[in-house]
Structure 1
Amino acid sequence: MKKYTTKKIRNQALFELLTKHMKESSLETIGNCGSYISFFADETLKKKKVNKSNFCNNRFCPMCSWRQSKKDALKISILLKYIQEEFKYEFIFLTLTAPNVGGSALGDEIKKYNNSFKKLMQLKQVKKISKGYVRKLEVTYNQERDDYHPHFHVMISVTKSYFKNKDYIKKKQWLELWQQCMNDSSITQVDVKKMDTSNEKAIAEIAKYGAKDADYLQSQEVFDVFYAALKGKQLITYSGVFKDALKLFKAGELDKYKELDLTEYIYLLEYNWMGKSYSLDEKRLLTEEELKQVNKQLIEELEVE
């Protein structure tokens, strides 16, 4: 329960920072998030799977954004497997950055990023090689300089021949194209590399939160900047072959790419939040019906730190 405890404590910090932004009814839902969680557990009690809870599903909630990132990681890994098997495509991992900006400029900078990325993907040489992409916006905060760093993590599907043909785009060219689209020659770097689809770290880069709670919970002032810039924004987008694959995923047509959870769950554990930690208030063996319900099911999430 260590991870859940940490996230619940941060959820309480979020509650305080949100009081100026939300109505009391919405605040109550967020404040109560994760106050009750029941898990299915194996014989050792080390492997647990959430059964029920009162999660709030707020974008800024440390508990819920962490849980969503685990589901997104599984989703993206399945899309990669399907696209690679069905179309024999490979993937490149592209990170697009620009110099940091102050808090008052963050919202406009994100809009600039979005518009510039659209331009980039419409350029003849990029459009020619891209079969689709998944793109994630992430914003980090530099406490020493008191500025913000929005950036894009992008997975682009390409043909196998891309890496050996004349259409191959070198790192230097990606930088020049991004400078051109951003109309900013002060950009000094981008990062691009061929992606190993078995590399869960790369998948986690796309799936993880749009902002780290350790960043936006530092102060009211910092939180207000993140809140204004990210509230209502679409943080992750799918295009081309990724968008088509996502429709199949949602329809359950890619379940064959999911792995079976081989854990044998035998207990039901019920935890309640006691202000500073969780209390285990009930532990019982699963009923026959519950055993059938939870065991030998497909895995629905991957671990993300």
Structure 2
Amino acid sequence: MRYANTTHYKLQGVNPAGLKKLDGEGFAWRAERMKSNRLVRLYHLAGYEQYADRVEGCATWLQFRVLGDKRELTTANFCGLRLCPMCTARGAIVRARLLSRVMDGVQVEHHCQYIFLTLTIQNVTGPELGDAIGQLTQGWSRLMKQRPVQAALRGWFRAIEITRNNEPGSQWYGTYHPHIHAIFAVEDDYFKPRSPLYLTHDDLVARWRKAMRLNYDPTVNIKATYEGGRKKNRRKIKNGDNEASRGAVLEAAKYATKDSDYISDSLGDEEAAEIVRDYTKALYHRRLTAFGGWLKDKAQELQAVDLDNVDLIQGEDSTIREDLAEVIEEYGWHFGAGDYVLARRYVNPLRVKREGGDDGD
């Protein structure tokens, strides 16, 4: 839709429509949509015409329910492509919320603790990227089958992320860094002094090297809730008051790629299109997230197992009941103005029906 003759109300900032923030996070609708416009051109250059068309039509129509100064997204036409800035940003919010719910539920039921890890391999070239992702998945499977790892863990989550080195002058410039963000669920006994279950950093490096069948020691970063048998930054999941742990959850749940790797003023269009081509080929039909053990059981219970394909509408917990919303607002993307416009605003018909007492009783 191209709203050429519509009064122009901005979605962000104070404006005639009275909008201050959209959704609980104050989502940057216009900024993400503007980045999508750049991706459309890159897809055309990379030879993916159908993907370019999908991104061009992404989030061109948004519908919100409104109650007081609160707004919640109810409908939108997202494209769902992995490289789309709009969809990856929305997806990161949804995945973080779902993963936090899973972890909260497991911690309450089992009183477990969490360890956050990053497991890496050396950088690879664009043509090698697809195989490297497959090797990471296979290596993870072999790691989880090692007996000491099976004995120590009660559950896990893993997500694959890829970054590109865009630093001029670096010996690794133009190469890709696929790696795994992982969360281990362990019992309190794991952290007791001289626990036979405890896996040291050196042990995890050796086990990851063996699982990946490498001829070098890979980098393994660990952020534990306990360190050396003493409490340190214990994650109070129920109260949500540990920012370090929350940051680790967000890191594990975020997008597979960073749009700044290919949407950047420092990159020429041809180089950026080549990056888009590399990512598109490597990520095609790839499953990048998975659960195991207690975390998988809870994810199945909450219908949150498939974090690769989440509902992008549900960016936050709903706080406005459908029949209590005062008005419905619909916005369309104005291609000429480069912003969203208010296309329609009307009284919520469900609220009118409720207040009129026409409820079928």
The interval holding the TM-score normalised by the smaller chain is: 0.7 to 0.9
RMSD: 2.5
Among 158, 163, 166, which residue is 1:143 paired with? 166
Hey, what does 1:181 align to over in structure 2?
A: 211
The Cα shift of 1:216 comes to: 3.4
For 2:253 and 2:151, locate their aligned partners in 1 and report how far apart those are by CA, in whole Å.
26
Alignment of 1:6-155 (within 5 A): 6-19=31-44, 20-22=46-48, 24=50, 27-44=52-69, 47-144=70-167, 145-155=173-183
For 1:259 and 1:8, locate their aligned partners in 2 and report how far apart those are by CA, in whole Å.
23
CA contact (8 A) 1:99 1:186 kept: no
Select between 190-199 and 147-156 the one with higher mean Cα deviation.
Answer: 190-199
For 1:60 and 1:291, locate their aligned partners in 2 and report how far apart those are by CA, in whole Å.
42
CA 1:167/1:41 → structure 2, altered by over 3 Å: closer, same or farther?
same
What's the secondary structure of 2:162's corresponding residue?
strand
Larger-gyration structure (1/2): 2
Hey, what does 2:185 align to over in structure 1?
A: 157
Of all paired residues, the percent bearing the same amino acid is 27
Give the structure-2-normalised TM-score: 0.72
What's the secondary structure of 2:148's corresponding residue?
helix
CA contact (8 A) 2:208 2:218 kept: no
- 1:5 and 2:33 are equivalent in the alignment: no
What's the secondary structure of 2:302's corresponding residue?
helix
The Cα shift of 1:291 comes to: 9.8
For 1:291 and 1:11, locate their aligned partners in 2 and report how far apart those are by CA, in whole Å.
39
CA contact (8 A) 1:103 1:225 kept: yes
CA contact (8 A) 1:15 1:30 kept: yes
For 1:68 and 1:188, locate their aligned partners in 2 and report how far apart those are by CA, in whole Å.
29
For 1:114 and 1:28, locate their aligned partners in 2 and report how far apart those are by CA, in whole Å.
31
For 1:222 and 1:74, locate their aligned partners in 2 and report how far apart those are by CA, in whole Å.
29
Hey, what does 1:255 align to over in structure 2?
A: none
Hey, what does 1:201 align to over in structure 2?
A: 247
CA 1:42/1:260 → structure 2, altered by over 3 Å: closer, same or farther?
closer
Uncovered stretches (5+) of structure 1, i.e. residues with no partner: 252-257, 293-305
CA contact (8 A) 1:92 1:193 kept: yes
Give the structure-1-normalised TM-score: 0.84
The structure with more helix, counted as a fraction of residues: 1
Aligned pairs, number: 283
- 1:167 and 2:197 are equivalent in the alignment: yes
CA 1:151/1:273 → structure 2, altered by over 3 Å: closer, same or farther?
same
